Amino acid sequence: MQIQLITFEIDAKMLAVDIMAVREIRAWTPTTPIPNAPPFVRGVVNLRGLVLPVIDLSERLGWGRVEPCERNVIIVVEIAGQLT
């Protein structure tokens, strides 16, 4: 069985995720903050009626917070039946 991966880069580090888990790749859009959320939770976005959390993966992995720019994207993945 062959696995296909989508790769992306955070702070010069190459990461990958199974392409079958990726539901959508969308341009960065501002998030709505969530009070009392952990620092790595940037907020939520509305995706066609679904409210999805946006995680700063760099901060979550302990590599520091990334300030979004026009080159950043939001990768929507499905893990254990939940979209993230």
- Our count of domains for the chain comes to 1
Domain that holds residue 39: 21-83
Confidence of residue 55 (pLDDT cuts 50, 70, 90): very high
Does any domain span residue 46? yes
Report, as an integer, the average pLDDT of 33-50: 94
Output the domain CATH number for residue 53: 2.40.50.180
Confidence of residue 81 (pLDDT cuts 50, 70, 90): confident
Quick check: 7 and 16 in contact, CB under 8 A? yes
Percentage of residues of the chain with pLDDT beyond 70:
100
Query: Model's pTM, two decimal places?
Result: 0.85
